[in-house]
Structure 1
Amino acid sequence: MNITIKNLQKYYKDKLVLDIKQLEIESNKITGIVGENGAGKSTLLNIISGIDKNFCGQVYYDKKKLNKKIQKEITLVFQKPRLLNDTVYKNLYYPLKIRNTKKEDNKFKIEEILKNLDIESLKDKKALELSGGEQQKVALARALVFNPKVLMLDEVTSNIDFESIKTIESIIMNYNKYDKNTIILISHDKKLIKSLCDNVIVLDKLEVN
């Protein structure tokens, strides 16, 4: 899915935090967003994902404005996983349920993504009782299980161990390679950005009096 942003302005109270005249995020590519703290990186993902609707300007998804159908085809994984207080399996089942996918396919999809992320042993455990790295893998699995057309990742490799980072990197690369979907990620890790991203967007912190 190709994303086009035009004349975007976002204010917090009276402070302008984002001012983007024109921005194109290419379909089927991995796009990195970098910039110093306060530059509006997470805010931009919140707008693209449809979480934040309080802005001026236009955001188009394959030349269409956000609607319920498009909303169900995009997802955002936060730096701090927002998991349900339930088992890992139930967490992965939830996005399939709200999208009315075929019940006979759901078990296969869940078991496949659990295997791909090497978290099969966690499926019956409470998600909120897992370690930080395990929770981040579950959050990524929940995002990938319904095969979104746009996957957004906000610092998903921060504060987790090296092996978990390498697993997540591999999953992201393979997902883009084989499913040809659009991935947008924020990271302070320059090595991660360099190794994963086809394009990089640099956001400057606005100095507005």
Structure 2
Amino acid sequence: MELRIKDLTKLYDDKLILDIEDFYLPEKTFLGIIGPNGAGKSTLAKIVANIEDASTGEVLYNGSSFTAELSKDMTLVFQKPYLLLTTVYHNISYPLQLRKVAKEEIHRRVMEIMEEMEILHLKDQKAWTLSGGEAQKVALARGLILKPSLLVLDEFTANIDPASMLILEKSIQNYHAKYSPTIIMVTHNLQQVQRLCSHLAYMNKGEIVESGEVDEIILNSQNPITQKFISGEIVV
């Protein structure tokens, strides 16, 4: 899915949180967004995913404004997973049930993605008994099972164990390789961006300061603020 952000602002109590004049993201791009705390990264992710309104401006999806139909082709995965108070299997299958997918197809797809994410043994376990890493795997599986063409990840591997993080990353890599969606990943982890992303945007004080291919920005940044963040002079 192709994205265009135009004249986008967001204010909270008269404080300017976002101010993005023009930003274009081609379809199939895997974009990592980095920057210090308070830069507006998560706010931008929520606006792109249409769970928060902009104060002014717009986000265009394949040249069009957001519609209810478009929402079926988008998924947002938060840092804190929000799961239904039921089994792992039901959590993952629920979006397909809402779309009235045949039971046999639901079962096949749920079992397939649970096996890929190494949570097949949790099939009948209740969501509230899961560890943080397990819950995040379930949340991601529930999002990927819809095969969205736009996937927004907001600190989706923060505060989970390294083994779970690697499984989540591998699932994202496999999904991008197989279906070529547009992915936007908000993260503080520059190494994670280098492992997963094709493009990088650095945000500071609500603005996209610099963007481009990952290696281009990391090795040859043209902006002093970006350079300081990459070198560790600006703490998150």
TM-score category, normalised to shorter length: over 0.9
Corresponding position: 1:27 with 2:23 = no
Measure, in 2, the Cα distance between the counterparts of 1:206 and 1:142.
Answer: 30
Higher-Rg structure is 2
Q: What is the DSSP-based 3-state SS (H/G/I as helix, E as strand, rest coil) of the residue aligned with 2:79?
A: coil
Q: Deviations over 1:2-29 (max 9, x none)?
A: 1111000001120010000011122112
Q: For residue 187 of structure 1, what is the aligned residue in structure 2?
A: 187
Measure, in 1, the Cα distance between the counterparts of 2:50 and 2:148.
Answer: 14
Alignment of 1:112-151 (within 5 A): 112-151=112-151
Alignment of 1:168-187 (within 5 A): 168-187=168-187
Measure, in 2, the Cα distance between the counterparts of 1:59 and 1:100.
Answer: 30
Q: For residue 162 of structure 1, what is the aligned residue in structure 2?
A: 162
Q: For residue 87 of structure 2, what is the aligned residue in structure 1?
A: 87
Name the amino acid aligned to 2:169: E
Measure, in 2, the Cα distance between the counterparts of 1:101 and 1:9.
Answer: 39
Q: Deviations over 1:139-195 (max 9, x none)?
A: 110110111111111111111111111111111111101111111101111110111
- Given that 1:29 and 1:176 are in contact with CA atoms closer than 8 Å, whether structure 2 keeps it comes out as no
Shift of 1:54: 4.2
**Runs of 5+ in structure 1 lacking a partner?**
none
Alignment of 1:33-44 (within 5 A): 33-44=33-44
Measure, in 1, the Cα distance between the counterparts of 2:154 and 2:110.
Answer: 23
Q: For residue 57 of structure 2, what is the aligned residue in structure 1?
A: 57
**Runs of 5+ in structure 2 lacking a partner?**
208-236
Q: For residue 67 of structure 1, what is the aligned residue in structure 2?
A: 67
Name the amino acid aligned to 1:14: D
Corresponding position: 1:3 with 2:31 = no
Q: Aligned residues: percent identity? A: 44
- Given that 2:8 and 2:54 are in contact with CA atoms closer than 8 Å, whether structure 1 keeps it comes out as no
Measure, in 1, the Cα distance between the counterparts of 2:39 and 2:171.
Answer: 28
Shift of 1:100: 3.3
Measure, in 1, the Cα distance between the counterparts of 2:28 and 2:103.
Answer: 28
Q: What is the DSSP-based 3-state SS (H/G/I as helix, E as strand, rest coil) of the residue aligned with 1:64?
A: coil
Dislocated runs of 4+, deviation >4 Å: none
Corresponding position: 1:105 with 2:115 = no
Measure, in 2, the Cα distance between the counterparts of 1:27 and 1:206.
Answer: 24
RMSD: 1.3
Q: Deviations over 1:114-147 (max 9, x none)?
A: 0110100111101121000000101110110111
Normalising by structure 2, we get a TM-score of: 0.85
- Given that 2:74 and 2:150 are in contact with CA atoms closer than 8 Å, whether structure 1 keeps it comes out as yes
Name the amino acid aligned to 1:76: L
Name the amino acid aligned to 1:31: L
